[in-house]
Amino acid sequence: MARRQILSLSERESLLALPDDELTLTRMAYFSEHDLALISAHRKPASRFGFAVLLCYLKNVGFAPDKKIPPSDALLKHIASRLKLTGDLWPAYLSGRDTTRREHLTELYRYLGVKAFTGKIQQDCITHLLPMATRTDKGILLAEELLIYLRQNNVIIPAIDVVERTCAEAMAGGDKIVFQTLNAPLTQAHRDALDRLLESSDNQSSSLTWLLQPPGKINGKNVLQHLDRLSSIESLALPEGIDRTIHQNRLLKLAREGRKMSSRDLTRFSAARRHAILVCVLEEARATLTDEVTELHKRMLNSLFSKAKRTQAERLQQTGKLIQSKLRQYINVGQALSDARDSGGDPWLVIENILPWPEFVASLEETRHLARKNNFDPLHIITEKYSTLRKYAPRMLSALQLVATPAAQPLADALVVIKDMYRKQSRKVPATAPLDFVPESWRKVVITLTGSTMNFVRSASLRGRCAPETSGLKVHAATKILMITSFPKRTLTNSHRRCHCPYLLIFMTTLPAA
């Protein structure tokens, strides 16, 4: 039988501990008329008291106290008060004949209709716990379920060591089932590929160590490295849906264990356990890498928006004095023209007296340059910086898969157009390209006099300011991005109002360079 410690000392104590509130203790110390008649049949006070304590425990808790597991002092006081006896009779009962105690237990088993814990019952308990053991490896949960099962079947709870051994054997059986389930769809090619991940040399770490590297700083190079790791996992071609063949708790626990172990430690396990752990590690790593790639990209986009706002503020500050100068010129010329009209003077001469005509024309050009929207609109500044993400965007767009809700379908259709343009190496946006997802603030950037231009792609790629849950787009294999349909309509509406942009597209896509 499996012998491994699955319960801590505090958990062992809590399993069979009695509640300490007065109401529960009073209820437990209540005896019916039939109970009292059975107790009164014993002559000595110590025998009556001990018999009552055993009855109370067997009826309410499911086990009989003894020298190793003494009864609660508070409960002894309640029982003594109920029977009108002194509370110090329990030691006297224990010091009596063991035969008397065994006879009392036999009588109580027959009276309460309970049975002792046997080897056959233990196997039934293990069978009952196996499904739960495939979902969790927390010993305390298995032990609590075991106690519930024993009480429902009128079985006396054995010693805590027996409870722990039974749960440990069920847990070992659950481990075996989990390993078999994960190994069943694997081919020999899969197993060989998994083993190669653990190979390392003196000068180079194993492939598994490289796959589990953290993302590092926020830059395009690290995004590309993460995409390389994703591609490596995809190249293993693990069976589709293998991560859903076992409970998520088990998968994550095995993945955490595998991450903590070195490649050399993993090679010491049996093949079934080693391959099962590696599958869990890779499936969890796939989701983590997807999350980290999207998070890196989103943070880079946020940085672009922040830099664009700072650039806008700096440009405004740099041109502040010039703007004030132009405003004063406007006031002076306007006031002079107003005075000339009132007095019937020549307006052209008035302007010449204030500002010579060549200077006036030059000032007009400067003012026209200042008034350009590109100088102060953050959207124009952002679209100028889209090349920052060009190095990794095409690969990311092809590596990550999207699932769209109906509300986000135009956005998903735009991605299909962009992917097709990459495939064809085309720089011309098709006339049928969807534009429904483009907000009003982006219209002038996306749609020009000659139709939708390459800014269409920039628009589709730079609208990543919202939280993922408000998008209607889900990244396949990601763990932290939720479908929009899981949120109440009111929450969704409020989230849209808080967002800088009304939709989410966390993929930066740029057309191939000319």
44-89 confidence digits (pLDDT tens):
899 999 999 999 999 988 988 887 888 888 899 999 988 988 878 8
Residue 451: strand, helix, or coil: strand
**How far, in Å, CA of 269 to CA of 319, rounded?**
69
pLDDT at 514: 34
pLDDT tens, position by position, 82-141: 898 887 888 888 888 889 999 999 999 999 999 999 999 999 999 999 999 999 989 999
Residue 403 φ then ψ, to 5°: -120, 125
Across 251-255, average pLDDT: 94
In the chain, % helix, strand, coil (3-state, to 5) comes to 65, 0, 30
* pLDDT for residue 452 is more than 80: no
- Angle among Cα 292, 296, 300 to the nearest 5 degrees reads 170
Cα–Cα distance measured from residue 301 to residue 322, given in angstroms and rounded to the nearest whole number: 32
443 contacts: CB under 8 Å, gap ≥ 6:
none
The stretch 394-414 carries a mean pLDDT of 79
**481 vs 311, more confident:** 311
* Gap between the Cα atoms of 365 and 306, Å rounded: 30
Which residues have a Cβ under 8 Å from the Cβ of 220 and sit 6 or more positions away? 300, 388, 389, 391, 392
Q: CA-based angle 258:264:269, to the nearest 5?
A: 65
Type of residue numbered 251: L
DSSP 491: H
What pLDDT score was predicted for residue 478?
60
**Segment of 1-10, 229-238, 380-389, 452-461 carrying the highest mean pLDDT:** 229-238
Please report the pLDDT score of residue 492 as a whole number.
34
What's the pLDDT at 372?
63
Report, as an integer, the average pLDDT of 164-186: 95
Measured distance CA(329)–CA(185) in Å, rounded: 80
Distance CA 456, CA 415 (A): 11
Q: Which amino acid is at 181?
A: T
Q: Residues 127-156: what's their mean pLDDT?
A: 95
Contacts with 197 (C-beta within 8 Å, 6 or more apart), sequence order: 206, 207, 208, 211, 263, 278
* Percent of the chain clearing pLDDT 90 (strictly above): 38
More confident residue, 381 or 272: 272
Q: Is the pLDDT of residue 464 over 50?
A: no
Mean pLDDT to the nearest integer, 308-321: 77
Tell whether the model's pLDDT for residue 42 goes beyond 50.
yes
The residue count for the chain: 514
Give residue limits of the domains in the chain: 31-112, 188-197+210-297, 319-381, 387-498
pLDDT on residue 304? 81
* Euclidean distance between CA atoms 508 and 303, whole angstroms: 13
- Cβ atoms 15, 160 nearer than 8 A: yes
Residues 156 and 114 sit within 8 Å (Cβ to Cβ): yes
In this prediction, residues 334-340 reach a mean pLDDT of: 83
**pLDDT value at position 496?**
38
pTM: 0.74
Residue 295 to residue 217: CA distance in whole angstroms: 12
Q: What pLDDT does residue 69 have?
A: 83
CA distances from 18 to 57, 233, 299, 315, 476 (A): 10, 51, 53, 73, 49
Query: What pLDDT score does 462 carry?
Result: 46
> Is the CB of residue 257 less than 8 Å from the CB of residue 249?
no
Task: At 136, list the tokens.
Answer: 């969790």
Confidence of residue 457 (pLDDT cuts 50, 70, 90): low
Instruction: Say which residue, 458 or 90, is predicted with more confidence.
Output: 90
413-433: average pLDDT: 78
Between 373 and 393, the higher pLDDT residue: 393
What is the pLDDT of the chain when averaged over all its residues?
Answer: 81
Residue 506 is given by DSSP the state -
Model pLDDT, residue 451: 52
Assess whether pLDDT exceeds 70 at residue 323: yes
CA atoms within a 13 Å half-sphere pointing along the CA-CB vector of 141? 11
Higher model confidence: residue 209 or residue 378? 209
Q: Which of 1-15, 234-248, 299-313 has the highest mean pLDDT?
A: 234-248
- Given a contact cutoff of 8 angstroms between Cβ atoms, the answer to whether 367 and 326 are in contact is yes
DSSP string across 392-436: THHHHHHHS-EEE-GGGHHHHHHHHHHHHHHHHT--SPPTT---T
CA 83 to the chain's CA centroid: 56
**Treating both helix axes as pointing N-terminal to C-terminal, what angle do 455-462 and 409-424 enclose, rounded to 10 degrees?**
130
* Average of per-residue pLDDT across 264-282: 95
Residue (of 138, 172, 51) closest to 180 by Cα position: 172
What is the rounded average pLDDT of the residues 227-252? 93
Residue 491 has pLDDT above 90, yes or no: no
Q: How far apart are CA 299 and CA 220, in angstroms?
A: 11
pLDDT, mean of residues 465-487: 46
Residue 222 has pLDDT above 80, yes or no: yes
Across 233-242, average pLDDT: 93
Determine what percent of the chain is predicted with pLDDT higher than 70: 82
Asked if residues 503 and 484 have their Cβ atoms less than 8 Å apart, the reply is: no
Report the chain's C-alpha Rg in angstroms.
38
Q: Where residue 513 falls among pLDDT bands split at 50, 70, 90?
A: very low
Higher pLDDT, 264 or 448: 264
- The predicted pLDDT at position 508 comes to 33
Residue 497, pLDDT > 90, answer no
What pLDDT is attached to residue 234?
92
Q: Which one has a higher pLDDT value, 122 or 430?
A: 122
